Structures are given as C-alpha cells and as structure tokens.
Structure 1
Amino acid sequence: MKKLTTAIVLSMSGLVATTAMAAPNDHDRHGNYPNRDVRPVNVIHKDDHHNVWRAGQVVPHEYQHSRYAIDYRAHDKLTKPGRFQKWYKVNGNYVLVNEQSHKIIKVVH
C-alpha cells in the first residue's frame, strides 16, 4: 500500500510541475518595464506634401526610387538638371534633387 501511495503522490507532483511550466509568461505586462524607445511620428497626409517639399531638405528614403524619376524634356517648365542631379515627380510636384546627398535643390509646383 505504501508503494501505491508513493506512486500516486509522485505522479500528481509531476502533473503539477508540468502545468506550472506550461503557464504563460506575463512578466512583461505589469508595467514595471516602461518602453523608452517610443518616439513621436510626424504623419504627413497626401494633401500636405505641397507644404513639405522645400529646398535644402533631404528627400525621404521612400521617394529616392527610380519610379519617381522623370525626363525633364517632357515638361516645359523644368530646366536641364546639372551633374549628379535628377528631377522627381512626387504627388504633383516636380523636385530637383542632388543624387549624392539627396537634398532638394528646387521645387516646381
């Protein structure tokens, strides 16, 4: 009888131990570890881009793509770009950009 009781107690303790290990880890959800990496994000709406493009600013990375590049000869109001310069059309604006520094040289609305 003593062996049967010992076997039951050991099996029950094994069952309790496995359920404790399978419990979810909620240590992060108590607010003890504040996230200090949160930075405010400036949201620019599509309609606000005409206010954003200014000479001297750096063109955002998502607009530094060849799909925005245009041929200046197809447009009457654009001048010939200099060396290391390229015209981009973004949201109806024509932006002359230095290809090396990605800074805006000129904006034509």
Structure 2
Amino acid sequence: MPTVEVANLADGDFLLDVREDDEWQAGHAEGALHIPISEFVARYGEFTEAAPQDGRVHVICRSGGRSAQVTMYLVQQGIDAVNVDGGMQIWAASGRTVVDGKGQPGFVL
C-alpha cells in the first residue's frame, strides 16, 4: 500500500477526502475534494475531472482504513495515489488546519 505521512504533505497537494458527509461537515482539510467512499464509484467522473492529470492523489479518511480501500482502487485504475497514514486524526494532531462546512474552525469527528 503506497502511503505518505501527514508531515510530508505540502500545501497545494491534491487531497481526496473519502469520509461521510457528517464527518466532512464537522471538519476537513481546506481545499480537499470530498467524495464519500459510499458514493465514490458512482461519482468517479467527478473525481477524474478534479484530479490532477499528472500529479499524485493523496487519499484521506478519519484514520486510514477507508482511504486505503480507495487508494488501492485508484492504483488499480493506473492513478498515482497514496494513502495518508493516520488520516484526519493525525492531520489535526499535527496542527494542520481543520475547517467545518462553513469555513470556520472545525474538528475531526
């Protein structure tokens, strides 16, 4: 499983958040693309439109389990994708910005 540590992510890296809507609304990384794992296959076209054509996709969830599943799916599709180790829990614990659905300070649900 290709993985990346939160500390190795740079501002501007493409981040795909696959948590469910209530988790996203409570708090997410600003600028991330949100497509819940439960809707991912049906919304795959939305992902391909937004994803970088020649860059890496960093997939994140709460702790790394769901994002690992989506990462493996994307790798099988020939996409350069990596799982963010520890997910949003480590993101927040590392002091990275978390915003809610209204752009205000959020929290990891």
Q: TM-score, normalised by structure 1?
A: 0.23
Structure with more contact order per residue of length (Cα contacts < 8 Å, sep ≥ 6): 2
Rg (Cα) greater in structure: 1
